[in-house]
Structure 1
Amino acid sequence: MSDGKPTAVLLVEDDENDVRITRRALDRLAQPVDLHVTPDGAAALEWLAAAPTLPDLVFLDINLPKMDGFELLGHLRAHPRLATLPVIMLTTSTRTEDVRRAYAAGASAYVVKPMRYPAFAELMARTLAWWTQDNRLPTHGPTLTAR
């Protein structure tokens, strides 16, 4: 973020290769990023409930085991504490119905992963810069309270 603190990012992604290239792309940015990864929606909800502070951004894949990205997005938007958390769908799906469904469920953005790493790294740099420098994010309190 602009105050010199690392940008806290939650990546909800089950594909280890996608996690690796995302971590690589974020590690190469000038701005520091504190990345936490969960492999599915259920694990993401557990992590958010236990986290002392909420992330600044969530990158969320659609196709996940246990609880898919759409279901997790629904849980996030239904919880008063998480409702304004910026959630960026980060997926390989270009299906119009997935885009519509994501925005209808409350996605903040829908980004399609490029197939080549240089394009992916550039996309991540632009996306993170927009969300953390150009855009004003809501302030989240220090803890998530159970409902």
Structure 2
Amino acid sequence: MIKEFKILLVEDDSIEIMKLRRTLDSLNLPHDIVEAGNGKEALEALEESDYLPDLILLDLNMPHMNGIEFLEHLKSDDILKLIPTVILTTSEDHKDILTCYRLGISGYITKPTKYTDYLEKLKSLFEYWNFNELTKAS
């Protein structure tokens, strides 16, 4: 059975947002997506009401507050730091990868240029989190 996730997508590129939505539709994944255009908007969404996502998909290169700055804030909060956070970015910079893992991310995925490769990566990602015990505990 497929679990419906609440996903916080932190992404400033509208084409990437459309691509993710298209991928979820084509995979028949009924996930609820809340969008934030940068880290600052994402923190505001997390602080508002009682919205806590099951999963955060985070780009690194964004205006106002980039992904690493967002992670630093997120991982300093005792409750928010437990939300699985997966980097979904074009950056293959080893420094970015190491910094993100040191901050406590759950995964790091580079966005491939071919849509079929992107589709396969996200399919694997959601299959993994569908069976992960952490998402069942929340």
Q: Same fold (TM over 0.5)?
A: yes
* Distance in 1 of aligned mates of 2:71 and 2:118: 23
Instruction: Pick one of 96, 102, 123 that aligns with 2:94.
Output: 96
Within a 5 Å distance, the mapping from 1:1-147 to structure 2 comes to 2=1, 6-133=4-131, 135-137=132-134, 139-140=137-138
The answer to which of 24-33 and 119-128 deviates more is 24-33
* Distance in 2 of aligned mates of 1:75 and 1:26: 28
By how many angstroms is 1:51 displaced?
Answer: 4.1
Which residue of 2 is the match for residue 144 of structure 1? none
Contact 1:27 1:33 (C-alpha < 8 Å) held by counterparts: no
What amino acid maps onto 1:71 in structure 2? Answer: E
SS in 1 for 2:75: helix
Distance 1:64 1:93, change over 3 A: same
By how many angstroms is 1:137 displaced?
Answer: 1.4
TM-score, normalised to structure 1, is 0.87
Distance 1:81 1:122, change over 3 A: same
The answer to which of 28-37 and 66-75 deviates more is 28-37
TM-score, normalised to structure 2, is 0.92
- Percent identity among equivalent residues? 37
By how many angstroms is 1:30 displaced?
Answer: 3.0
* Distance in 2 of aligned mates of 1:50 and 1:100: 30
Contact 1:9 1:36 (C-alpha < 8 Å) held by counterparts: yes
Distance 1:21 1:74, change over 3 A: same
Distance 1:116 1:51, change over 3 A: farther
Gaps of 5+ in 2: none
By how many angstroms is 1:121 displaced?
Answer: 1.2
* Distance in 2 of aligned mates of 1:64 and 1:58: 15
* Distance in 2 of aligned mates of 1:12 and 1:122: 20
* Distance in 2 of aligned mates of 1:128 and 1:47: 22
* Distance in 2 of aligned mates of 1:51 and 1:132: 25
